[in-house]
Amino acid sequence: MTHVHRRTIALAALMFGLAAPIHAQTSTAPLDGPTSVPTVTAPAPPPPNVDSRFLGGLSFKDGYPTTETVQRLYDELDFQRGTQVFLRNLPALSMYGLRLGLARDLGVDSVSKFAIFRADANSLMLTPNSETLYGTTFLALDTDGPTIVEAPPSVLGLVNDMWMRPVGDIGAGGPDQGKGGKYLFVPPGYAGILPKTGYFIVRMQTYGGWVFIRALLDPSGNAAPAEALLKQMRIYPLSKKDASPQMTFVEASGKPFDSMPPNDIRYFEMLADLIAREDAHAVDPEVAGMMRAIGIEKGKPFVPDSRLRSILAEAARVGSFMAQAISYAPREPERVRPGSHWMAGIAGYPTFADGRSTLLDEMIYMSWFATGAAKAMGAPKPGTGSQYAWTYYDAAGEWLLGEKSYRFHISPHPPAKDFWSVLAYDNWTRSILANGQKVAGKNSYDTAIQTNADSSIDIYFGPNPPPGKESNWIRTIPGKGWFAMFRLYGPLQPWFDRTWTPDDITATAQ
């Protein structure tokens, strides 16, 4: 071996810490470092057996989870992600359920078809009212391209995207200020030429969009003028604006249709279908990532195996129970006054964001029990639009139950320029209670309602009416929980400053 070669090997030995570069080691290097992790800066490794409050027994070997424990942890991870995907997408499934129900049950499957109806117990949709006339359809910007919505004067309306985000109000709360106008809804990412004048232009985040228009009945409760007004609606693609497209108005009053999203594996199948139809950027990356983790991804089929199907079915079921708890027993309820069991308003409505974070519970609360978000309702003005209060409890703080009897005292002069109403809803479907009456509610249009000497009114709930009070009675069903919603149309200043609020519902002997 030359001197140069020996020097090269010696340098290599120094560089890599080799004590004997050519000969094999025959002795053990001294142990001069710690053999345990300092406990002050790191959590202790798991012991061989761990008892988890939610998962039961977990097993570890020298800090590694056993095969059985790994599987149990992944099952739980899929379940937790499933419940969160369920909850985070309640607004979307509410919208998509409504879109599918309108198409399947009423034939409203294009923008040229417009359903007109007064809601009743046949209308399985979230907390509708029965005192205004509804008109509705869905935009399909993926196939139609930019789409024009022509609204007549004196309607109240909104357009939400497929995640129930408010994109535009129509009517008194919108840019047409109740005078009517033309709105142009533009698909996500659209780069084509648009008209420079003549339209209120709204850019959408999704291809689908819910168009929902209300028209008030006349002071006598007659719906004919409202129907005539809604039949002035025109919706058509911008590409057909010179072709005078015709509308088909679907008379849907009294016709059954079901918009309820399921709470089993079909929920995730519906969500996967919606994702496949929608723009890739319809949801934020975190929500998209959570969906991807359970197999829902745009451009790929949703084909969960039997293990994941079982887990997701349970996640949907538990997710629906969580949504019930959030909606019916909110941690921070916004009450109409201190001590009242009537709630009014949800923090963050209608966007459920405060500039720093998404208000998750409030978003879930809203989308579990109601459909639609309007910008104008987030900034109401006296004398316009509508305001709501709702309760699940009686004056003693007990749930409202179908087998019990109650009295709701309405103090004199409810502050409504147009009218007031109270309706009973099924606490599971969140739709108008199917109680055998034409409508499970009363309103100020009803001339048969008995009024007290001081102009106050008593409304009665229960399986049977108090003697002589049939005209003021709303029937409830034993064994079925219910809740009440009180509405003011054209709410006046006493509502906003809370000098007038509804009394709590009180249990009675009958």
Q: Which residue has the higher pLDDT, 442 or 375?
A: 442
List pLDDT tens digits, range 90-109: 999 999 999 999 999 999 99
Enter the tokens of residue 76. Answer: 């739980």
What is the percent of the chain with per-residue pLDDT over 70, rounded to a whole number? 93
Residue 18: per-residue pLDDT:
41
Residue 40: per-residue pLDDT:
57
Q: Give mean pLDDT, residues 113-141.
A: 97
Closest to 445 in 3D by CA, of 424, 425, 416? 416
Residue at a domain's end among 241, 258, 275 = 258
Within this chain, do residues 357 and 497 fall inside the same structural domain, yes or no? yes
List pLDDT tens digits, range 144-183: 999 999 999 999 999 999 999 999 999 988 999 999 999 9
Residue 27: per-residue pLDDT:
55
Q: Which residue has the higher pLDDT, 316 or 351?
A: 316
Q: Does 57 have pLDDT greater than 70?
A: yes
Q: Does the residue 501 lie in any domain?
A: yes
Within this chain, do residues 251 and 339 fall inside the same structural domain, yes or no? no
Q: Does the residue 281 lie in any domain?
A: no
Residue at a domain's end among 208, 233, 258 = 258
Q: Does the residue 500 lie in any domain?
A: yes
Residue 35: per-residue pLDDT:
76
Q: Any idea what the CATH number is for the domain that residue 136 is in?
A: 2.60.40.1610
Q: Give mean pLDDT, residues 452-475.
A: 98
Q: Give mean pLDDT, residues 138-148.
A: 98
Q: Does 392 have pLDDT greater than 90?
A: yes
Within this chain, do residues 362 and 495 fall inside the same structural domain, yes or no? yes
The number of domains in the chain is 2
Q: Does 113 have pLDDT greater than 50?
A: yes
Within this chain, do residues 245 and 154 fall inside the same structural domain, yes or no? yes
Q: Does the residue 306 lie in any domain?
A: no
Q: Does 316 have pLDDT greater than 50?
A: yes
Q: Does the residue 225 lie in any domain?
A: yes
Q: Does 8 have pLDDT greater than 80?
A: no
Residue at a domain's end among 233, 258, 283 = 258
Query: Do the beta carbons of residue 136 and residue 115 sit within 8 Å?
Result: yes
What is the percent of the chain with per-residue pLDDT over 90, rounded to a whole number? 81
Within this chain, do residues 362 and 492 fall inside the same structural domain, yes or no? yes
Q: Which residue has the higher pLDDT, 381 or 120?
A: 120
Closest to 213 in 3D by CA, of 136, 321, 297? 136
Closest to 422 in 3D by CA, of 398, 402, 435, 439? 439
How far is it, in rounded angstroms, from Cα 99 to Cα 265?
19
Residue 4: per-residue pLDDT:
43
Residue 162: per-residue pLDDT:
98
How far is it, in rounded angstroms, from Cα 155 to Cα 229?
8
How far is it, in rounded angstroms, from Cα 470 to Cα 246?
46
Enter the tokens of residue 110. Answer: 């294009």
Helix (H) or strand (E) holding 100: helix 90-106
List pLDDT tens digits, range 395-421: 999 999 999 999 999 999 999 999 999
Q: Does the residue 162 lie in any domain?
A: yes
pLDDT band at 6 (very low <50, low <70, confident <90, very high): very low
Query: Cβ atoms within 10 A of the Cβ of 488, count?
Result: 24
Q: Does the residue 473 lie in any domain?
A: yes
Within this chain, do residues 361 and 243 fall inside the same structural domain, yes or no? no
Q: Give mean pLDDT, residues 129-144.
A: 97
Closest to 476 in 3D by CA, of 462, 486, 466? 462
Q: Does the residue 39 lie in any domain?
A: no
Q: Does 23 have pLDDT greater than 90?
A: no
Q: Give mean pLDDT, residues 72-85.
A: 98
Within this chain, do residues 390 and 498 fall inside the same structural domain, yes or no? yes
Q: Any idea what the CATH number is for the domain that residue 387 is in?
A: 2.60.120.600
Amino acid at 241: K
Q: Which residue has the higher pLDDT, 471 or 10?
A: 471
List pLDDT tens digits, range 248-262: 999 999 999 999 999
Within this chain, do residues 482 and 363 fall inside the same structural domain, yes or no? yes
Query: Which residue range(s) make up the domain with 141?
Result: 107-258
Closest to 502 in 3D by CA, of 479, 490, 484, 489? 484
Q: Does 363 have pLDDT greater than 50?
A: yes
Compute the mean pLDDT over every residue in the chain, rounded to the nearest whole number.
Answer: 92
Residue 19: per-residue pLDDT:
43
Within this chain, do residues 242 and 381 fall inside the same structural domain, yes or no? no
pLDDT band at 357 (very low <50, low <70, confident <90, very high): very high
Task: Return the minimum-mean-pLDDT range out of 15-29, 271-285, 382-396.
Answer: 15-29
